[in-house]
A and B are shown apart, each in its own frame.
Chain A
Amino acid sequence: MQAPLAKRIWDAIAAPFDGWLMAFLAGIFVMSMLVLFSASNQSWHKIDNKLVYTIMALAVMWIMANARPQTVMNFAPPLYAAGVLMLVGVELFGITVNGSTRWLSLGIVRIQPSEIMKTALPMMVAWYFQKYESTLNWRHYLVAVALIAVPGALVLKQPDLGTAVLIMGAGFFVLFFAGLSWKIIIGGLVAFLASLPVVWNLLHDYQRRRVLTLIDPMQDPLGDGYHIIQSMIAIGSGGPWGKGWLNGSQTHLDYIPERTTDFIFAVYSEEFGLAGNLLLLALYLGVITRGMLITARAQTLYGRLLAGAITLSFFVYVFVNMGMVAGILPVVGVPLPFMSYGGTATVSLAVALGMLMSIGNTKR
């Protein structure tokens, strides 16, 4: 009688998890532990913390995967409203760190409302389209654009260009899957390119410098270009097979900045080489592919819009982070999903993937 009981418990735990997603995530997790140990100069303290974050992430992922999407959907408007209110709060009395105001202090805890918005915004827009599904017309698209623009503008003002782009991107993906006309998409793209000179003038100095540095890092090899050059050297010198675990000289001689967080991929790349990079890319592609399949099979409009937006956002995080470390995108503070060290990002990604799983679990 023992075995069946244990099996029942196991089944109860495993049931809401999506097998394919979990398999890819497990692969990413193993690589992330290895590289964190190396990047942190073999700090067990950081490994312990990362384990705690992972357990927390699994817990929230399980909870979200268990919840019915139709139930969670109803939380979208209050969550979104609270998020916008908090963003306004940040604007009025936020905490300023390094010249940008991103944090809100709620007594003991400090929270970053823009982090919440990354999930709340696509949920809200998807909820909105679901609500007016039968009567959709162009006015609804206008409202949706406003829903996206308000938090986007607030985050942009903090200033946090990277996060603003990610948040607005997530909202745009919902619009895209909801059937936003191609004419508008292409027209918008053209308008965006045309407005670049204007945007350039609106950018903060440090943002302009980042863009310029990207175009030619060698302009200031010891200043702003330093990080990019050093991380490119790390990746390039890793070669096809890497220098071996714990053997990255760039890493251990302190050349790589933020090497446990935003630039952890440079450490990974140096030690595991092209082979490791392709393996990691394949794991991420696995997650994305599975996400797209869930999206394709989703039953409700809300489900397919949200699942599509989550999957595309996940892709954007991966692409922007790796692109930045590899020197083809500007340096914006985007962590590499489940690889970078940090509790908030890990847990909020777990929430999103948990919702994705619950959408996948909802059968016809």
Chain B
Amino acid sequence: MHRPTRLKDTQAEESQFQLRLVIAYGFMVLMLLTLAARFIWLQVMQYDHFATLAQNNSISLVPVQPNRGLIMDRNGVVLAQNHAAYTLEITPAKMADMEATIKALRALVDISPRDERRFRKFLSESKDFEPVPLKLRLSEDEAARIAANAWRFPGVEVKARLFRDYPYKELTSHVLGYIGRINQRDQQKLEEDDKLANYRGATHIGKLGLEAVYEAELHGTNGFEEVETDAGGRAVRSLRRTPPMHGNNLKLALDIRLQEVADKLFGQRRGALVAIDPQTGGVLAFVSKPGFDPNLFIDGIDSASWKSLNEDWQKPLVNRAVRGLYPPGSTFKPFMAMAALQSGAIGPYDLRPAPGYFTLPGSSHQFRDSNPRGNGMVNIGKAIAVSSDTFFYRVAWDMGIDRIHPLVGQFGLGQKTGIDLDGEASGVLPSKEWKEKRFARFKPEVRRWYPADVVSVGIGQGFNAYTPLQMANATAILAADGKVFKPHLVQEITQAGSGKVRQVEPRPVRTLAFRPELYQYVKDGMVAVMRPGGTAARLAAGLTYTMAGKTGTAQVVQIKQGAKYNAAALAEQYRDHSWFISFAPVETPRIAIAVIVENAGFGAASAAPIARAVSDFALTGKVPAELQGKMITMPPPAQAGDKHDASAAR
């Protein structure tokens, strides 16, 4: 600083600045002392006053739970509903002696060991000031007895709560999923999504299936009530209330009667069925067998039931329709045929030999046909009708995997369909890149794609693996001449307050780039499947509409060269899976179906009859003979027959 002439001035400035510093500091200290004085006044002099106020703090803000939205089938039949019932709840923070209280309560209500186990479990998971249910679903009598003795039990409350109920149990387990008590993980998730405020006082949340996927629609928005409480924390009267916004109702495309028909036709067998309306993408039936009773999960499943479900070798908890991956077997052929025609590898009327086996040039390995005598010379339609393996071996060999992959992929095989359910598997439509990635950790010989790999891909074996939903979706796309819809279970969402309805629009996502005339050749082949000479000819008896289908048999184990498949000699889990895909009526398809029955042998034998009966019910309302009088969704015939025909597809 070169200002010698201003030195004196600077000194004056300096002392003035220091003075101001002192003044500022003094001011701050004084103000902080004021605060300290205020605290002393509040916390020492007025302590008694405020302590009493806190003790009796009489106004509390209580969240009011919204009612969870209902889930209905396409005809308005309620699939998930709410029941009002009383619960007995204890707030641990207000409890002097928990054990004594529980003991005293036993005299008034019946508390089972299971109730108590559950209570202890919840107790360990909740915070002290949250009420924990001791007994659910009190009888009117019990509720009245507790209410009359309320004064003896501070911190014990009888609350009216709504309970979720799935009246169709196993029938809807894999569609609806279930709700369950909010646990730590849900809590954390809610916090991260900033939704915790809306779940104040809520006890349950969607855990699986539609209940989880549509949680945001179904849950609704909390209301609040300002209540005056007494010293024990009981509400005395309500002062002000902001009503909750109830959850929205869901209406499915699914027809619960069709669902029951499909479900019951499986009997004790395992498998899956998905039926889709090809004109909208709406899912008409969605079955995964075996199912389970979702009601068990709502208030915490007991360990014995959990163990039996979880350790069952039949895996009832697995949703086979979206998570089960199976080779499609010959049901792959129609899609393979579309690819072959589009690529020009074969013309629609070209004849090819279909002998009993196929060998590659320069190799002795025999790719066998399911018909050891072969089928003579066939064109593509006939090849589908008789399910000629050797025809498709040759076509696949001629095309090569690089041409097959993009064309068959058009039908959505090997990709998630985007259905409104959780946990969908994507499956495998093989390609060179896929094999390279899949076996990345193996030797190059294993990773490399061999020309011969393509042969078995052509008939839906080899690396192919799809979910039943993907097969149904692909069939629907084929049936609709390439119009692609995203498959969806929920068709309509009804706003709780306003009653405004939001439709899931049946707008095609896209249209496939196949030449339009090609669909007819393949469909003709699938119609011929159900004509004399076709692999499912027996199934056509008594059809009152037109139906096109394709049988399939998926190998579970590889059969050695020269050996013969002998179902009887194989343990049940290793027997072939039975597949069938179909759509009907052929002219304007209203239902497309994919069925798999696990370890049940040839497609025509087990899966096809289910598809036929489901189509019958959907299109004509005919209940299969073996189910007549046994349907829980169609109680005695009072008004039977009036609207069945219109049921499924509209």
Interface residues of A (CB under 8 A from B): 41-43, 45, 134, 173, 176-177, 179, 221-222, 226, 232-240, 249-250, 252-255, 269, 273-274, 277-278, 281, 284-285, 288-289, 292, 295-296, 304, 308, 312, 315, 318-319, 322-323, 326, 328
Contact = CB atoms under 8 A, between A and B. Distances in A.
Given A237-B54, A240-B44, 17 more contacts: A176-B24, A177-B17, A221-B59, A235-B43, A236-B42, A236-B51, A236-B53, A237-B55, A239-B47, A240-B43, A250-B54, A269-B43, A277-B43, A284-B32, A285-B28, A315-B28, A323-B35
Given A176-B20, A254-B61, A295-B21, A249 B43 contact: no
A272 to B, nearest CB: 10
A308 B17 CA distance: 10
Contacts of A318: 32
A302 to B, nearest CB: 13
A328 B188 CA distance: 37
B50 interface: yes
> Could you say which of B17, B34, B44 has the most chain A C-beta atoms within 10 Å of its C-beta?
B17
Contacts of A43: 191
Contact of A177 (B20, B32, B36, B53): B20
Nearest to A298: B17
Given A45-B188, A222-B239, A323-B35, A233 B43 contact: no
Contact of B43 (A176, A222, A238, A254): A238
8 contacts: A222-B59, A222-B239, A233-B53, A236-B46, A254-B61, A288-B25, A288-B28, A323-B35
B554 to A, nearest CB: 46
A234 B47 CA distance: 10
Contacts of A253: 57, 60, 129
A326 B53 contact: no
A152 B49 CA distance: 42
A284 to B, nearest CB: 7
A240 B47 contact: yes
A41 B196 CA distance: 12
Nearest to B50: A236
A232 B50 contact: yes
B40 interface: yes
A239 B44 contact: yes
Interface residues of B, number: 45
Contacts of B24: 173, 176-177, 292, 308, 312
Contact of B60 (A255, A277, A296, A319): A255
Interface string B1-25: 0010010000001001110110011
Contacts of B54: 233-234, 236-237, 249-250
B517 interface: no
A281 B17 contact: no
A318 B24 CA distance: 15
B39 A235 contact: yes
Interface string B127-147: 111000000000000000000
> Could you say which of A239, A295, A296 has the most chain B C-beta atoms within 10 Å of its C-beta?
A239
A274 B37 CA distance: 10
Contacts of A237: 47, 50-51, 53-55
A281 B13 contact: no
Given A176-B20, A236-B47, A322-B35, A274 B40 contact: yes
A177 B38 CA distance: 29
A48 to B, nearest CB: 11
B29 interface: yes
A308 to B, nearest CB: 7
Contacts of B93: 252
Nearest to A326: B38
Nearest to A241: B43
A277 B38 CA distance: 11
A281 B21 contact: no
A319 B31 contact: yes
Contacts of A255: 57, 60-61
A326 B39 contact: yes
A176 B28 CA distance: 14
Contacts of B55: 237
Contacts of B32: 281, 284-285, 315, 318-319
A269 B39 contact: yes
A182 B13 CA distance: 14
B192 interface: yes
Given A176-B20, A315-B28, A235 B129 contact: no
B240 interface: yes
A280 B223 CA distance: 38
Nearest to A314: B28
Contacts of A315: 28, 31-32
B436 interface: no
Contacts of A176: 20, 24
B21 A222 contact: no
A274 B44 CA distance: 8
Nearest to B59: A222
A302 B239 CA distance: 58
A322 B53 CA distance: 21
Closest 7 CB pairs of A and B: A236-B50, A237-B54, A274-B43, A236-B42, A237-B50, A237-B51, A277-B39
B182 to A, nearest CB: 14
B226 interface: yes
Nearest to B13: A179
B538 to A, nearest CB: 62
A274 B38 CA distance: 10
A301 to B, nearest CB: 9
A222 B127 contact: no
B57 A233 contact: yes
Contacts of B39: 235, 269, 274, 277-278, 326
A190 B353 CA distance: 108
A339 to B, nearest CB: 14
A27 to B, nearest CB: 16
